[in-house]
Structure 1
């Protein structure tokens, strides 16, 4: 028996609260994890005890000087994808080995410059759950209410972070989650005599901001890349008419039959496939084909990799396998409900039903409110993304800047490690949009070094 280790754990158990950490929620070591010098915590916050509604979280301290570095909240989109699972393929401390049974350090983790809190939200995502079935009918408002309840209780559990600089970040549908949460925390500050959230900036990767326009932008992307011809693109514009940057409606999209037929035709031609599902699977990355790994191979501890243009497209597949290992779930303090189905990075069978109408909401007004508080917003977008194409997001950013009378102060190429990083648009050092060359819908997965560069040099250093 390790007597020294026993007394050390006993010390932390007794005195952990004094130091502002719930030491019973510290992760000792994840299976297959290399030795590290930072701490990890995970567990549940009961956001509604009466309904039995709980959100799961994963906190990773910064690897150096965690007591003096900011806290970043990371939310993954979908809606319906796990932020905790996403930590293993994006900004978290680890990625899996090629056989998915061990972990290796992520050299581009954001814990190099910040503490990071990953939250599985909404209910039905990851290991977050409710005992009330109606709680799985969710939308932007209910998700935001749960996140506020979570944050308030979480800060009570981790009081050392209450006065820290706070950054809100995420990808994809986090284009809804993050601005909504930011405005809610700012509203809370107005009426609170105690806790004040010290929000310093937002960072959004390939965010869904104006859903209907983002869908149409896909076909403009196809045309600009020569994947479809001009006539077909013009046909789509004609048949799907009625939406533009200055005439956006929050109503859910109901495309006409002729519009949908034109879109489907473009999908098949663009990817040279025979089925729409096969084409849609390529939206995540229009440059690279999807992972074709087999679960059985990982069970046999065989390596499953698919590196295309410097990106391992099987990384999410391996992370999903790792988080289904019982010993991993136990070490993570997760799955306390003993799921009757396989854990998925993006759930399909948890019962989650997210409001289709909320997906169409225009998020520019929410971002405008953030900017009016002089809180900088940084948006970065992978150029190979077909889910939320760069070509559409740039139009949204330009409209936002115009509506706020923000002048364009930088319009230039940016470089990373002596290579072309992409293009950068800055509006009075308050609103920044950066394209990322070669990145897909998940910049932090496909170009992690560039993502860390953006977060460190544009998001953090601009405001500190």
Structure 2
């Protein structure tokens, strides 16, 4: 019944371009005139689930520019939060009263879809109130959302080059979704690649790299570290299986917990940040880290003691994003029904109910390698989904270095020496691993100029050091 109704709707909607009812004509608080159209509405992905999207067309040549999907992680965090706080064209200040232009928005690269997923996140909802989700259902719902977007909402974009991008738990969301999209060449004829920032590709590797990372960043006192290495790891910290040791209520699990509790007043998403930004990111920062610890289901991991980042410095201010998106006039402008509840950056309910079934996405990567282009990038001072995790994950895929490519070759912002933006390793089968120097977990927020240059050059197959054309 649902499939028939969706098909019938598609026959009507597919006959014209861009849904006029979703066009945002007057965004409250805006202090500039956007030179692009943007749309906010819903994609019906099942008989009960409605996922909210916000689509920002490209600044230039939207009729030919690529289309990018952006997914924030969590699981349970909003991609509209990513729009306002990271890579979208609209940033909010003055306690949610003013919307100003982000000069490094990714719709300078292409048309960008921000999808709030799964149901229960942000403005997305389930009509029956059931917001349970898993890696499998999230991938299927996101796939159905893309079908609805390209077939029924914006059919004129279906033939554009298409990329799936995101960060954090996007390391699970994106590969599981990309496998479905890559297999459907009828509906996605121009699916070109994925770009994943600070992705959680492997839970075991995340824990096994975390302890040495903490130690060599000066967060752990030597006596405790040496005790764990000597008595739990047979003297070898680098090959120690901390993940397995934490899967039991043992003395070693207790000692590793104590290691992971060090640096309690630091921001685990960026060890060198001096203040939380006034953009509503604090709740998301605590949520994502705690969710990943909690969802690992390790018996010996004491998540209630995870106090890293719990204390807010005095410079932390009010939550601009949440305040703005819950204004009645803003909700009306974005076509949000009155029945939809309060917007939050991350949903506690979705996070608690979410079932993680993929603790490693090596299989999905192997399916995608050679079929699409892959960019995996990392801010190098994030401890939650750290660069060492992804370095080891990529190495485990068994790829060779691309001919003529140096391991860890520098790339530069604006092609200027000595502005080293990070390091690049190019592999066979179209995979690039890139670090962003001095960035934390949220790369488009911490290093917006470098992030824009990175994604532009990836999509256009250019040297990462080349400046973005004006």
Q: TM-score, normalised by structure 1?
A: 0.80
Distance in 2, matches of 1:386 and 1:98, equals 31
SS of match in other structure, 1:118: strand
Does the alignment pair 1:379 with 2:376? yes
Count of residue correspondences: 411
Does the alignment pair 1:36 with 2:48? no
Q: 1:255 to 1:431 in 2, by over 3 A?
A: farther
Which has the larger displacement, 213-222 or 147-156?
213-222
Deviations 1:346-391 (A, max 9, x none): 1124686111x42x52112211211131x11111111110111112
* Alignment partner, residue 226 of structure 1: 218
Does the alignment pair 1:284 with 2:303? no
Unaligned runs of 5+ in 2: 1-11, 281-314, 464-470
* Alignment partner, residue 368 of structure 1: 366
* Alignment partner, residue 110 of structure 1: 106
Distance in 2, matches of 1:361 and 1:368, equals 15
* Alignment partner, residue 136 of structure 1: 131
* Alignment partner, residue 264 of structure 1: 257
Distance in 2, matches of 1:19 and 1:122, equals 28
* Alignment partner, residue 328 of structure 1: 330
* 1:315 CA drift (Å): 9.0
Distance in 1, matches of 2:173 and 2:197, equals 12
Q: 1:219 to 1:93 in 2, by over 3 A?
A: same
* Alignment partner, residue 396 of structure 2: 399
Q: Could you tell me whether the CA contact under 8 Å between 1:377 and 1:430 is conserved in 2?
A: yes
Q: Could you tell me whether the CA contact under 8 Å between 2:379 and 2:387 is conserved in 1?
A: yes
Q: Could you tell me whether the CA contact under 8 Å between 1:91 and 1:110 is conserved in 2?
A: yes
Q: 1:415 aligns with which of 407, 412, 416?
A: 412
Matches for 1:170-209 after TM superposition, within 5 Å: 170-189=166-185, 192=186, 195-209=187-201
Q: Could you tell me whether the CA contact under 8 Å between 1:406 and 1:428 is conserved in 2?
A: yes
Q: 2:149 aligns with which of 140, 149, 154?
A: 154
Distance in 2, matches of 1:137 and 1:112, equals 36
Q: 1:335 to 1:249 in 2, by over 3 A?
A: farther
Distance in 1, matches of 2:231 and 2:365, equals 31
Q: Could you tell me whether the CA contact under 8 Å between 1:70 and 1:114 is conserved in 2?
A: yes
SS of match in other structure, 1:456: helix
SS of match in other structure, 1:186: helix
Distance in 2, matches of 1:294 and 1:25, equals 26
* 1:448 CA drift (Å): 0.8
Deviations 1:385-407 (A, max 9, x none): 0111112211111222xx24454
Distance in 1, matches of 2:44 and 2:232, equals 44
* Alignment partner, residue 210 of structure 1: 202
Q: Could you tell me whether the CA contact under 8 Å between 2:134 and 2:354 is conserved in 1?
A: yes
Q: 1:293 to 1:434 in 2, by over 3 A?
A: closer
Q: Could you tell me whether the CA contact under 8 Å between 1:250 and 1:362 is conserved in 2?
A: no
Q: Could you tell me whether the CA contact under 8 Å between 1:236 and 1:263 is conserved in 2?
A: yes
* 1:143 CA drift (Å): 0.6
Q: Could you tell me whether the CA contact under 8 Å between 2:208 and 2:241 is conserved in 1?
A: no
Distance in 2, matches of 1:162 and 1:250, equals 43
* Alignment partner, residue 73 of structure 2: 77
Does the alignment pair 1:145 with 2:140? yes
Distance in 1, matches of 2:421 and 2:110, equals 23
Distance in 2, matches of 1:252 and 1:42, equals 47
Q: TM-score, normalised by structure 2?
A: 0.79
Distance in 2, matches of 1:127 and 1:82, equals 9
Q: Could you tell me whether the CA contact under 8 Å between 2:92 and 2:279 is conserved in 1?
A: no
Q: 1:388 aligns with which of 385, 390, 408?
A: 385
Q: Could you tell me whether the CA contact under 8 Å between 1:16 and 1:23 is conserved in 2?
A: no
Deviations 1:156-179 (A, max 9, x none): 221011111000100000011111
* Alignment partner, residue 64 of structure 2: 68
Which has the larger displacement, 153-162 or 233-242?
233-242
Does the alignment pair 1:165 with 2:150? no
* 1:83 CA drift (Å): 0.5
Distance in 2, matches of 1:252 and 1:335, equals 48
* 1:219 CA drift (Å): 1.9
* Alignment partner, residue 3 of structure 1: none
Deviations 1:75-122 (A, max 9, x none): 110010000121011111111124331111111001111000011011
Q: Could you tell me whether the CA contact under 8 Å between 1:123 and 1:352 is conserved in 2?
A: no
* 1:213 CA drift (Å): 1.8
* 1:461 CA drift (Å): 2.6
Distance in 1, matches of 2:28 and 2:431, equals 41
Distance in 1, matches of 2:155 and 2:241, equals 42
SS of match in other structure, 2:86: coil
